[in-house]
């Protein structure tokens, strides 16, 4: 199983192209590009400078012998975002095109929810709104050869509330309604922990729909994005996660999303921290393989 890490590390201290060879040197096979960090920056809104940036990132990865395994698109918040000038749809489309340029097969996007009675009719309206939004992106996906993986989310104001999109069955309903090879699921272990989900059953239930993962830990209260095992007894049951990935038949990369773990780390320790994070990822990826063999 390949191990990967997100380029969202160390805040703004490091340029993406400089991090790529360091990731490879630390032992990672793959990279996750975070479009949501950059898509509002003027240089990314200008097609020529965005192309130059993407070209540099693609070249840095091929020089270092690592692959772009996935990318993260902008956060789709809900209908307020979707109305007006269609800016959110266009931002998602641009992130899909950028993923294609890097050769990343999946762009991760969040499904969205909106207030209502939280009854069946409300659920159905949210389902149809999501299906409509992601169906409208399919032509971009086909043109770029990039799929959209829908990520389980949570409500930052009510982290334990099971809002639409936080449950594996919500994601499966959207994906099954769209029924297309370029639509799948990304499982975020930290968000599932906040929603107090059974990670093993939740991940296993996704089966072949599962195309990407965001691996990180927290204490069950806040979305910390720290390394697995960092929060001791309050943290995630990693046996459950690795067994679930094996049971789902997951074939993608084991991708960390642990930006907070690196934020305060001084440069003198940064390389050591990168190598340690690769060791943690490799340890857990090996546990997935062992679970598969059982």
Contact footprint for Zn ion (CB under 5 A): 188, 214, 257
- Least distance to Zn ion, CB of residue 134, Å: 17
Q: Which is nearer to Zn ion, 60 or 150 (CB)?
A: 150
Tokens found for residue 274: 């990168």
- Least distance to Zn ion, CB of residue 274, Å: 19
* CA distance linking residue 168 with residue 279, whole number of Å: 29
- Least distance to Zn ion, CB of residue 30, Å: 16
Place of tokens 């772009």: 68
- Least distance to Zn ion, CB of residue 215, Å: 9
Q: Which is nearer to Zn ion, 60 or 240 (CB)?
A: 240
Q: Which is nearer to Zn ion, 97 or 214 (CB)?
A: 214
- Least distance to Zn ion, CB of residue 213, Å: 9
Q: Which is nearer to Zn ion, 170 or 188 (CB)?
A: 188
The residue of the chain with the least Cβ separation from Zn ion equals 214
Q: Which is nearer to Zn ion, 100 or 259 (CB)?
A: 259
- Least distance to Zn ion, CB of residue 62, Å: 26
Q: Which is nearer to Zn ion, 50 or 281 (CB)?
A: 281
- Least distance to Zn ion, CB of residue 51, Å: 27
CB 164 within 8 A of CB 123: yes
Q: Which is nearer to Zn ion, 16 or 190 (CB)?
A: 190
């Amino acid at each position: 199983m390949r191990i990967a890490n997100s380029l969202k590390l160390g805040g703004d201290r490091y340029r993406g192209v400089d991090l790529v060879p360091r990731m490879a040197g630390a032992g990672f096979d793959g990279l996750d590009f975070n479009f949501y960090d950059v898509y509002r920056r003027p240089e990314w809104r200008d097609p020529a400078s965005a192309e130059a940036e993407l070209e540099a990132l693609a070249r840095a990865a091929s020089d270092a012998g690592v692959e772009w395994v996935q990318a993260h698109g902008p956060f789709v918040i809900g209908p307020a975002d979707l109305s007006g000038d269609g800016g959110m749809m266009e931002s998602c489309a641009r992130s899909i095109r950028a993923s294609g340029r890097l050769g990343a097969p999946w762009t991760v996007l969040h499904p969205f929810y909106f207030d209502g009675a939280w009854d069946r009719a409300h659920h159905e309206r949210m389902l149809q709104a999501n299906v409509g939004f992601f169906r409208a992106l399919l032509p971009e996906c086909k043109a770029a050869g990039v799929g959209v993986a829908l990520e389980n989310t949570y409500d930052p104001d009510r982290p334990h509330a099971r809002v639409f999109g936080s449950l594996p069955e919500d994601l499966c309903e959207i994906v099954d309604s769209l029924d297309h090879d370029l639509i799948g699921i990304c499982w975020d272990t930290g968000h599932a922990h906040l929603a107090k989900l059974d990670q093993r059953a939740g991940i296993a239930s996704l089966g072949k729909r599962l195309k990407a993962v965001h691996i990180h830990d927290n204490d069950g209260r806040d979305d910390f994005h720290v390394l697995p095992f960092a929060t001791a007894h309050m943290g995630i049951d990693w046996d459950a996660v690795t067994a679930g990935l094996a049971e789902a038949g997951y074939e993608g990369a084991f991708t960390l999303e642990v930006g907070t773990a690196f934020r305060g780390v001084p440069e003198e320790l940064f390389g050591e921290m990168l190598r340690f994070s690769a060791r943690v990822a490799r340890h857990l990826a090996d546990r997935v393989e062992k679970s598969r063999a059982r």
